[in-house]
């Protein structure tokens, strides 16, 4: 189980930007690799991706320096390490980097190696990745929350909120839930086309039409659910990620793309109250901006027993920030993105802290993704109950769904589907 060498290549992500692919070779001949994703609407306190900044290559976005760090310093530090001791290996990477945000070696270099190590360990011990990461506890398959309308930083349309998701919870299995979601995605396409709207897709595979205002997106989706033969609320619920840190400007929420009126924190909270009461919305992520902690506290007191309030940019998959949020009563759930923190061990530590403290856990892709399916296994390993990994198209997103279908099949009769119970407990009592 000892590492014999560590390598890396400069790969490309789904936006055609360079990213790190890391490989681990073990003395027993096992080889495993992993590819790192990349965000667009990033939190200020995320671990730092190292980019070359050379304007003559990929507009400065090359990752050759990070690749070199893997091949030289990281390789030298890890040769001989037991690959099954993930914590010790990750701690060594953190120590070697020496900065609080992994900016010297690059969080992209470090995470690639950390993920590849987990995969190598799973392979060398003869286990699927989800079993290796999660142990033998029975975990439900997550509800796929499909981001069927894209806006914000992920699309060039007039929609300010970033993500409008459908969660097909009322199904007997993951595969059936996914089918309901995909059928609704196709129904939405027909509906948009019929009404003269564009059906091109955004970064995460959801449609990206120009709409009159953000609420129109919700209305279109509800109609699509019915058109596909399902009942909004009873079969399929809605989740939102407005990614409001992107709208935040000196204490005001600015709706630049749609041209709607600016809003204060109070007005935003009022908007969410109205929407939650009017529509079958069970989850809102980044309902307020990452620097609006006072607003978040108030929002949580107002809606936290009715809806899952997920912190993405505000928590950055960081156990220390999450701890502070728990103490302050901010949010009731956390988005989990491996590259926000930069190692597998810290990601798992964050999940454990959230679960211990009654926070929801929502495993997520990035808007810049790859064919790597690590997060599908992570979602099952953690028993997080719901995953967001795209919409009804784009191979880098579908790859995760296909992996989950494979996992479900491999579990046979012991497979179960999380359904509405996969969301934070606050919403179960208020089934729409
Ligand atoms: P990102 O978007 O990967 O661009 O950060 C995803 C999200 O905000 O959840
Ligand atoms: Zn988000």
pLDDT tens for 116-136 read 999 999 999 999 999 999 998
Atom of ligand 1 nearest to the CA of 365: 3
Percent of the chain as helix, strand, coil, to the nearest 5: 45, 20, 40
Please give the span between the terminal C-alpha atoms of the chain, in angstroms, as a whole number. Answer: 50
Q: What percent of the chain has pLDDT over 90?
A: 97
- C-alpha angle with apex 18: 165 to 60, nearest 5 degrees? 115
* β-bridge pairing 31-35 and 18-26: antiparallel
Residue 119 tokens read as: 């995969």
Please give the model's pTM, rounded to 2 decimal places. 0.98
Q: How confident is the model at residue 427 (pLDDT cuts 50, 70, 90)?
A: confident
Helix axes 344-356, 374-382, angle to 10 degrees: 30
Atom of ligand 1 nearest to the CA of 162: 8
Q: How far is the CA of 429 from the centre of ligand 1 (A)?
A: 29
Give 40's DSSP letter: S
Q: How many Cα atoms sit within 13 Å of 120 on the Cβ side?
A: 32
Which pLDDT does position 159 carry in this prediction? 98
- The length of the chain is 432
250: Cβ contacts below 8 Å, ≥ 6 apart: none
Q: How far is the CA of 101 from the centre of ligand 2 (A)?
A: 20
> Rounded to an integer, what distance in angstroms lies between the CA atom of residue 348 and that of residue 382?
8
Q: How confident is the model at residue 426 (pLDDT cuts 50, 70, 90)?
A: confident
Active site residues: 204, 337
* Ligand with the closest atom to the CA of 206: 1
Q: What is the mean pLDDT of the chain?
A: 97
> 335 and 364 in contact (C-beta within 8 Å)?
yes
Question: Ligand 1 pocket test: which of 150, 162, 339 has the largest number of ligand atoms within 8 Å of its C-beta?
Answer: 162
Which pLDDT does position 394 carry in this prediction? 98
* Ligand with the closest atom to the CA of 368: 1
Which pLDDT does position 350 carry in this prediction? 98
Mean pLDDT, to the nearest integer, of 19-45? 98
> Rounded to an integer, what distance in angstroms lies between the CA atom of residue 339 and that of residue 48?
9
H-assigned helices in 125-264? 129-134, 174-194, 214-227
Atom of ligand 1 nearest to the CA of 39: 3
Which pLDDT does position 429 carry in this prediction? 62
Q: What percent of the chain has pLDDT over 70?
A: 99
> Rounded to an integer, what distance in angstroms lies between the CA atom of residue 90 and that of residue 65?
20
> Rounded to an integer, what distance in angstroms lies between the CA atom of residue 263 and that of residue 251?
9
Mean pLDDT, to the nearest integer, of 351-362? 98
Q: For ligand 1, which residues put their CB under 6 angstroms from it?
A: 39-42, 241, 243, 312, 364, 366-367
Residues 136-179 have pLDDT tens digits of 888 899 999 999 999 999 999 999 999 999 999 999 999 999 99
* CB contact burial 66-86 (16+ within 10 A = b; e otherwise): bbbbbbebbbebbeebebbeb
Taking 60 as the threshold, does the pLDDT of residue 430 lie above it?
A: no
According to DSSP, the residues that pair with 146 across neighbouring strands are: 166
* Ligand with the closest atom to the CA of 311: 2
Which pLDDT does position 124 carry in this prediction? 98
Residue 321: left if φ>0, alpha if ψ -120 to 50, beta else—which one?
A: alpha
Q: How far is the CA of 215 from the centre of ligand 1 (A)?
A: 20
Cα dihedral sign, 169-170-174-175: negative
Taking 80 as the threshold, does the pLDDT of residue 428 lie above it?
A: no
Q: How confident is the model at residue 185 (pLDDT cuts 50, 70, 90)?
A: very high
Mean pLDDT, to the nearest integer, of 85-89? 98
> 391 and 166 in contact (C-beta within 8 Å)?
no
């Amino acid at each position: 189980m000892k590492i014999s060498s560590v390598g890396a290549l400069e790969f490309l992500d789904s936006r055609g930007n360079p990213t790190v692919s890391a490989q681990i070779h073990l003395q027993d001949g096992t080889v495993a690799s992993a590819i790192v994703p990349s965000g667009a609407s990033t939190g200020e306190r995320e671990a730092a991706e190292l980019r070359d900044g050379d304007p003559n290559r990929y507009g400065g976005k090359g990752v050759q320096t990070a690749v070199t760090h893997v091949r030289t310093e990281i390789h030298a530090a890890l040769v001989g390490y037991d690959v099954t001791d993930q914590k010790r290996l990750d701690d060594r990477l953190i120590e070697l980097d020496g900065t609080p945000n992994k900016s010297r070696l690059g969080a992209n270099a470090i995470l690639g190696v950390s993920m590849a190590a987990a995969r190598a360990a799973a392979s060398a011990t003869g286990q699927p990745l989800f079993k290796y990461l999660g142990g033998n506890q029975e975990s439900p398959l997550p509800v796929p929350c499909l981001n069927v309308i894209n806006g914000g930083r992920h699309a060039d349309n007039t929609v300010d909120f970033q993500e409008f998701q459908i969660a097909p919870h009322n199904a007997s299995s993951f595969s059936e839930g996914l089918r309901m979601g995909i059928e609704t995605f196709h129904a939405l396409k027909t509906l948009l086309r019929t009404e003269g709207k564009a059906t091109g897709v955004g970064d995460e595979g959801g449609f990206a039409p120009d709409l009159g205002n953000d609420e129109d997106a919700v209305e279109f989706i509800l109609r699509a659910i019915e058109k596909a033969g399902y009942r909004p609320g009873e079969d399929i619920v809605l989740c939102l990620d407005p990614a409001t840190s992107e709208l935040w400007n000196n204490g005001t929420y600015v709706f630049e793309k749609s041209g709607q009126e600016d809003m204060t924190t109070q007005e935003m909270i009022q908007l969410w109250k109205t929407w939650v009461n009017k529509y079958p919305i069970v989850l809102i992520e980044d309902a307020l901006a990452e620097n609006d902690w006072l607003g978040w506290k108030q929002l949580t007191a107002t809606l936290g027993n009715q809806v899952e309030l997920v912190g993405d940019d505000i928590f950055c998959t960081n156990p220390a920030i999450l701890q502070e949020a728990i103490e302050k009563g901010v949010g009731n759930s956390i988005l989990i993105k491996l590259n926000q923190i930069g190692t597998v061990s810290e990601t798992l530590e964050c999940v454990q802290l959230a679960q211990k403290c009654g926070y929801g856990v929502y495993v997520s892709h990035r808007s810049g993704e790859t064919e790597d399916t690590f997060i599908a296994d992570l979602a099952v390993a953690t028993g997080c109950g719901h995953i967001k990994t795209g919409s009804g198209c784009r191979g880098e997103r579908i790859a995760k769904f296909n992996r989950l279908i494979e996992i479900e099949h491999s579990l046979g009769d012991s497979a179960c589907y999380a359904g509405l119970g996969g969301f934070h407990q606050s919403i179960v009592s208020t089934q729409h």
